[in-house]
Amino acid sequence: MQKLSEEKILEAIAAGELFECEAEDGSFTLRVQDYTPAIHTAVHNGSAFPESLQKQCLLSTEERLYEEDPYTADLIEAMPITLIGNDSRYFYDLNRPIATCIYKRAWGKQVWQKAPTSRQRQDSLTRHRRFYRILDALISKVEQRFGACLVFDIHSYNGQRIEGDAPAFNIGTEQIDMDRWSRVVERFRKGLSRIQHEGQPVTAALNRVFHGRGYLIGHVNSRFENTLVLPCEVRKLFMDELSGTVYPLLLNDLKAGLKECFTDTGAYFSRQYTRRSRTRQPDMLSSQLDPVISKVDRELYRLARGLETLYYINPVNLQQEKRKFFARLGSYSPQFSYKPLEIDPYLFRERLYRLPVDKIRDPGIQLMYGQVVDSLSGKIDLLISAGSSQFVYNSLKYYGEPSLVDEANARFLLHAAAYSDTSNETVGLDEAIDYFHSHARRWQMDCRIEVSSKIVASAMVSNSRKTLYINRNSSFSRNELKALAHHELGVHMSTTLNAAQQPLKVFSLGLPGNTMTQEGLAILNEFHSGSLSLERLQGLALRVLAVKEMLAHDNFRHTFFYLHEEMKMGREAAFKLTARVHRAGGFTKDYLYLRGLSEALRLYQEGDISNLYIGKTSFSYLGLLDELVAREIIHKPSYVPETLRQPEPVSDILGYLVSSIRPTVPVAMAGSLANGQRAVA
């Protein structure tokens, strides 16, 4: 980080520059990623204490740390304008007037064995004055731009010394003009009260523990008419108060909750009191891409690109084994072979967990990359076990298994009476290829379409190759052809091409849960295009039951005869589905199609889901994706199915069947401003 003099910092602020720096003497850190109506300060975050003063001080490092506010800088680091005090409050207290900012006694303890010299005192006072000159310049710039300014003055406190109930958050209002600012204060309090600690709601109080008598708010009030300071004390729930040990998961949860609260309160303040009357929550965040995010994303993509699951688990000898199986009337269990893994899994994991994800400041984005890293680690476990008895357990870990609700949905659809809703006319392979080419041209997709005899599915998109592969041995009805076009090109190829346009390559690799999301969106697109048939729905239902049978019996022949004899599937179709769920040793993915459809339909009915198409995304990240698009950190998707906005009419019967698919467990929104607003069941 660059070190700048006070003069250079003031010049940069006056010019409206975006920059990050540390003061030349290290006394504070300033970051201006974007100019917004809000400034965030953490004046007691630091613990820097000159060695010369340590020799004169009666208090140990641990005693000083107990009264300092460590990690308060972390609580505000996602925000675009932050001013952080790096020096210990025992050096000088930025929240006291300059006349009393150097302690003699503090919290009942004598501080000095030998009082600071006049030179040492002067150094402290110089740093104190400099901090406030920088703060004044920032506020002046914000007021000049927006007409008003909001300052979040963040501190922490030790709840163990408080008798009675110690709230998680305490807003001190004694120096706030409540006649003027009460609505903002209440908005902030309500936002804080929605934050949860270990899954439980917390208390946000006014003046219960502290009254907001600090110097920072008094200093600002005496100089700025249109600036509101909100002094907030956060109980040290995220750390051990006595030892200073931090609890990283609790700290990250708190950071995410505070980001939501800061942006909500800031946007409300902006709409009510500044010239930006249309401010949204994302407008309170930076539109600049943090270089750390770019670095993590670039290294992650370099490490994991090309790691496509189906490439390694599709049998290379599928047709040969199929012929053997039918030649022996089902008494033969296929012995499938697979491509060897081209990656050293141990080196892969080591490099994966070395990525500096913890350096990402935005809690939502940090959480997303952390979960991607964990997911890729699970994926490599899956791939190295392909063809072994361990594979099915890794598949369960990675994809899960059908629930009782999934099975009930499947049996419900299979009980539906057949009706004629589509044409059974079949088309040849050449006509199918021409059909896909014509749709790719119509939707202006720059992709390849090739024939393959090495895939299990009728068609499959390769993300890394931007290629749609057509199974040489499949035949298609005209309706199936339409459905495949809307499924494979309309969703899988669209999201592949959209991901390639994004500044972040993580959307090409895939977010955790992207399999269910991709397939759910693809089936939804079949539904909206009018090409989803009862036969197709029942085929998805049979996949759920096939996975259940595979898990229950672990026997290829049993699953085949269950599908062929009990469920009345044709021999070819039964073998194809059996191979799908038994490949690599037991592949549970196929139950997700039906569940994904239910989730996709529910989200679609609640609001705009177009940002799910920016790449290989996941339902649980929709709120974060909406935020990142609004901040212009990622691009709106170029390719979105035309039927998403103008669905074709479907039969009443099909509409009833699809709407009757029961939802499974709720999908929580991950790291997003929309958390709680776009919950998915």
DSSP result, 424-478: --EE-HHHHHHHHHHHHHHTT---EEEEESS-SSSEEEETTTTEEEEETT--EEH
Chain segment 574-630, per-residue pLDDT in tens: 999 999 999 999 999 999 999 999 999 999 999 999 999 999 999 999 999 999 999
What is the rounded (10 degree) CA torsion for 157, 160, 161, 165?
Answer: 90
Residue 420 pLDDT level (bands cut at 50, 70, 90): low
- Residue 574: count other Cβ atoms within 10 Å of its Cβ: 22
Contacting residues for 504 by C-beta, under 8 A, at least 6 apart: 293, 294, 297, 633, 634
At 423 the pLDDT is: 61
Assess whether pLDDT exceeds 90 at residue 306: no
Residue 417 pLDDT level (bands cut at 50, 70, 90): confident
At 419 the pLDDT is: 74
Residue 275 pLDDT level (bands cut at 50, 70, 90): very high
What does DSSP assign to residue 24?
T
At 638 the pLDDT is: 96
Average pLDDT over residues 166-174: 97
134 SS3 class: helix
Chain segment 485-516, per-residue pLDDT in tens: 999 999 999 999 999 999 999 999 999 999 99
At 421 the pLDDT is: 58
What are the structure tokens assigned to 625, written together?
A: 């994706």
From residue 130, alpha-carbon distances to 134, 447, 459 in Å are 6, 59, 66
At 477 the pLDDT is: 87
Assess whether pLDDT exceeds 70 at residue 668: no
At 676 the pLDDT is: 37
φ/ψ of residue 474, rounded to 5: -95, 150
Average pLDDT over residues 125-137: 98
Assess whether pLDDT exceeds 90 at residue 4: yes
| Contact indicator for 499, 615 with CB cutoff of 8 Å | yes
What are the structure tokens assigned to 428, written together?
A: 């040849």
Average pLDDT over residues 297-315: 90
Query: Strands 169-171, 109-110: parallel, antiparallel or unpaired by DSSP?
Result: unpaired
234 SS3 class: strand
181 SS3 class: helix
Assess whether pLDDT exceeds 80 at residue 665: no
Assess whether pLDDT exceeds 60 at residue 557: yes
Q: CA nearest 556: which of 317, 397, 320, 322?
A: 322
Chain segment 86-95, per-residue pLDDT in tens: 999 999 999 9
CA distance 73 to 66: 16
- Residue 345: count other Cβ atoms within 10 Å of its Cβ: 14
Across all residues in the chain, what is the average pLDDT? 93
DSSP result, 27-38: SEEEEESS--SE
Assess whether pLDDT exceeds 80 at residue 677: no
CA distance 639 to 672: 24
CA distance 469 to 449: 6
Q: Which helix (H) or strand (E) holds 154?
A: strand 149-157
φ/ψ of residue 335, rounded to 5: -110, 85
Using only C-alpha atoms, the chain has a radius of gyration, in whole angstroms, of 30
Average pLDDT over residues 408-412: 96
Of the listed ranges 6-15, 403-412, 454-463, the least confidently predicted one is 454-463
233 SS3 class: strand
Beta bridge partner(s), residue 3: 22
User: What count of Cα atoms within 13 Å lies in the side-chain half-sphere of residue 58?
Assistant: 12
Q: Model-level pTM?
A: 0.91
What are the structure tokens assigned to 231, written together?
A: 């002094």
Q: Which helix (H) or strand (E) holds 192?
A: helix 178-193
Chain segment 565-587, per-residue pLDDT in tens: 999 999 999 999 999 999 999 99
What does DSSP assign to residue 340?
P
Query: Strands 149-157, 227-235: parallel, antiparallel or unpaired by DSSP?
Result: parallel
Please report, for the chain, how many H helices and E strands are present, in that order: 27, 18
- Angle at CA of residue 420, ends 414 and 426, nearest 5°: 100
User: What count of Cα atoms within 13 Å lies in the side-chain half-sphere of residue 573?
Assistant: 17
- Residue 265: count other Cβ atoms within 10 Å of its Cβ: 25
| Contact indicator for 538, 335 with CB cutoff of 8 Å | no
CA distance 302 to 192: 40
At 681 the pLDDT is: 26
At 669 the pLDDT is: 43
CA distance 550 to 650: 34
From residue 593, alpha-carbon distances to 15, 468, 472, 516, 535 in Å are 54, 19, 24, 6, 14
User: What count of Cα atoms within 13 Å lies in the side-chain half-sphere of residue 3?
Assistant: 5
Tell me the H-state helices in 280-334: 291-304, 309-313, 318-327
Q: Which helix (H) or strand (E) holds 235?
A: strand 227-235
CA distance 529 to 167: 53
